[in-house]
Structure 1
């Protein structure tokens, strides 16, 4: 713990330099995290230093090669950068730019052609990839158009469904209100009926005077009238006959009494009820 804390303090001092180190809570977790950060930072710094040293070494090598080539040109051919014309300088710059673009160290013709061929192959592959991507893009655009149309149709269906649900919801709410009203009214009528039946029972009302009893009695009267109708038809032929006036008169009187008895029977039954 002490060794880690010392290393963390040293690293924080190096990072912030002349600025004061911010205060932080010292515990096992924070010390471990800062220790890991310090190790990672030192590792990256060492890698960076190695990379800088390598670049400096390569720069020194390139500068030495450049001085060597300049000496060779000056001693062998008598050429120097100061004696070259502007066109030669432009050609030389173009040659250097081409070598950098083609990533070749030797600027001989034998090295330029393979590099150009490689770039040509890469260009062909890029064009093929571009054509393939264009075909895929067209297909995606076509699918996107169909998808947008489908989304529009789905949104329209959703809107219609939402409106229909709103209308149905209003109808259902109205039906519920009506059902509540009918239920309340039915309970009220049932209570009133029970109350009325209780009042009738308390007053010793005759059941024969109820609506149901009267309807039943009316049905019985109708049935009796239907039974009397055939008897009336049987008496009709005898109404005009008089072979024996006295006997016929007696028969007629008996038939009239029987008919009157039958006619008065329903009324008597109603009175008894």
Structure 2
């Protein structure tokens, strides 16, 4: 803990210099935070110092190379920086700028060619990537168009469904009203029937004159009439016989007895009902 406090005080003194160090709460947490900041600051300052030293060294090397090249130019061809014409100085400056843009080590052809080739490769890769992006963009536009068309169709379907639902709701409401009316009418008729039946019971009305009894009697009469028809057809052949009073009288009597029996049966049924 004491070593951390000493380290923090030393770092704060170096940071503030001649100015007084602000007062702060001395606690374990505060000291730990300041100690970490001190370590980070010293590490960053150390890295910065190394970088500055490296840049100074490279600057010295470049200056030495420049002095050597100037001496070679001056001794070899009698050229100096001050002796160049304005266009030549511009060309040299442009050459230097190009070398800096390309990241070449120097302005020699051996340095320019790899840099140009690398830049060309990057351009080709960029063009290839652009073409691929254009294809993807066209595909996206096509899908977007199809999606918009589908969206329009779905919107129309939704509107049609909403209108149809409104119509069906109105019809359903009308059916409900009709159903309520029919239910009320059926209840009214049922009550009326019950009252009528109660009146019939109170008046002790004969059940034989009810609608159901009359319908049943009508059916029985129809059945008896159906039985009489074949008997009449049975008598028809005897109508064409030659006059024979005794035989005709016998047949007539038989037919009369059968008719009388049927009439008697019919009357009994009528009386029974």
Matched-pair contact (CA < 8 Å) for 2:102–2:115: yes
Cα deviation per residue 1:40-80 (whole Å; 9 max; x = unaligned)? 97787667655654564455446545655665577663977
Residue 136 (structure 2) aligns with: 136
* 2:123 corresponding residue in structure 1: 123
Q: State the match for 1:211 in structure 2.
A: 211
Q: For the residues of structure 2 that align with 1:43 and 1:138, how far apart are their CA atoms?
A: 55
In the alignment, the residues of structure 1 paired with residue 167 and residue 38 of structure 2 have an alpha-carbon distance, to the nearest angstrom, of 72
Q: Partners in 2 of 1:264 and 1:113 — Cα distance?
A: 140
Q: Describe the superposition over 1:88-128 as per-residue Cα deviations: whole angstroms up to 9, x where unpaired.
A: 44223312321221112323222111111111222222222
| Partner SS state of residue 133, structure 1 | helix
Partner of 1:223: 223
RMSD: 4.9
Q: Which segments of 5 or more consecutive residues in structure 1 lack a partner in the other structure?
A: 15-31
Which ranges in structure 2 are unaligned for 5 or more consecutive residues?
A: 16-28
Deviation at 1:221, TM superposition (A): 1.4
TM-score by length of 2: 0.60
Contact 2:104 2:112 in 1 (8 A): yes
CA contact (8 A) 1:207 1:213 kept: yes
Q: Aligned partners of 1:37, 1:259: CA distance in 2, in Å? A: 135
Q: Distance in 2 between matches of 1:191 and 1:92?
A: 120
Distance 1:239 1:41 in 2: 147
**Aligned residue pair count:** 241
Alignment match, 1:90: 90
Cα distance between partner residues in 2 of 1:41 and 1:162:
67
Give the conservation status (yes or no) of the 8 Å contact 2:70–2:81.
no
Contact 2:104 2:115 in 1 (8 A): yes
